Chains A and B, each alone.
Chain A
Amino acid sequence: EVQLVESGGDLVQPGGSLRLSCAASGFTFSGYMMAWVRLAPGKGLEWVANIKNDGSEAYYVDSMKGRFSISRDNAKNSLYLQMNSLRAEDTAVYYCARDNNYKVDIWGQGTLVTVSS
Chain B
Amino acid sequence: QSALTQPPSASGSPGQSVTISCTGTSSDVGVHNYVSWYQQYPGKAPKLMIYEVSKRPSGVPDRFSGSKSGNTASLTVSGLQAEDEADYYCSSYAGRHTYVFGTGTQVTVL
Contacts and interface: CB of A to CB of B under 8 A. Distances in A.
A103 B50 CA distance: 9
A54 interface: no
Interface in B80-109: 89, 91, 93, 96-104
A58 B44 CA distance: 27
A45 B38 contact: yes
Contacts of B36: 102-104
Give the contact-size bracket for chain A. 20 to 34
A44 interface: yes
Interface string A25-58: 0000000010101000000111100101000010
Interface of A: 33, 35, 37, 44-47, 50, 52, 57, 59, 61-63, 95, 102-105, 107-110
Interface of B: 1, 3, 32, 34, 36, 38, 40, 44-48, 51-52, 57, 89, 91, 93, 96-104
Given A37-B46, A52-B97, A105-B48, 20 more contacts: A35-B99, A37-B101, A44-B101, A45-B46, A46-B3, A46-B101, A47-B91, A57-B97, A59-B97, A63-B1, A95-B45, A95-B46, A102-B32, A103-B34, A103-B48, A103-B91, A104-B36, A104-B46, A107-B45, A109-B45
